Amino acid sequence: MEELALHILDLVQNCVEAQASWVYIRVAEDPALNTLSVSIEDNGRGMNEEQQARAIDPFYTTRTTRKVGLGIPLLKAAAEDTGGSFTITSAPGRGTLIEASFVRDHIDRVPVGNMADTLSALLALHNNIELRYEHVVGDRSFCLSTAVLREICGDELSHPRIVSWLRSYISEQENSLEV
């Protein structure tokens, strides 16, 4: 995967499959400490220790149509390639927290990429999940919450015209973090 945003999209799909009703995505960049961390937390069905060990194994999946699950191993490798770390915290019935830390200026660090495209895809696809996204860069931050958006948009939140508008909005907000 060429963007962290694509890893995030892929892993949130796992949360959906694990029947989460909320997902919290956080991307925190600290230029001063030269760190970048990504965390994805959900209240889905969770995993026991054996399932967690198998989740980081590229030859394991819960899916039946194909024999290998690559989402988690790919993000783990992307983090570890920069000298960073990767952890899963989970228990059955208690949801899952995935954390990947990167050395921010490492030459192999995958760019954050297009979070507007990732979030608009998730908004279009998963109307029944509460999504909270936070992107912090130094002392700047952008936060998006579907609970807040739902107060404004109601059931029309996943309508193509609303999603397209939100994609441009997120893109503007994300770009202003980079300055």
Residues near other proteins (CB under 8 A): 1, 6, 9-10, 13, 17, 63, 65-66, 69-71, 74, 117-118, 120-121, 124-125, 152-154, 156, 159-169, 172
CB of 129 to other proteins, least distance (A): 13
CB of 35 to other proteins, least distance (A): 26
Closer Cβ to other proteins, 39 or 120, answer by number: 120
Distance (Å, whole) CA 78 – CA 24: 21
Q: CA 97: distance to chain centroid?
A: 11
Is residue 9 within 8 Å of 116, Cβ to Cβ? no
CB of 33 to other proteins, least distance (A): 30
Is residue 146 within 8 Å of 129, Cβ to Cβ? yes
The counts of H helices and E strands in the chain are 6, 6
CB of 164 to other proteins, least distance (A): 4
Closest CA to 98 of 130, 71, 69: 71
The three-state secondary structure class of 92 is: coil
Closer Cβ to other proteins, 51 or 158, answer by number: 158
CB of 139 to other proteins, least distance (A): 20
Closer Cβ to other proteins, 56 or 70, answer by number: 70
> Bridge partners of 144?
133
Distance (Å, whole) CA 56 – CA 87: 10
Distance (Å, whole) CA 39 – CA 61: 21
Closer Cβ to other proteins, 10 or 130, answer by number: 10
Is residue 42 within 8 Å of 73, Cβ to Cβ? no
Closer Cβ to other proteins, 92 or 154, answer by number: 154
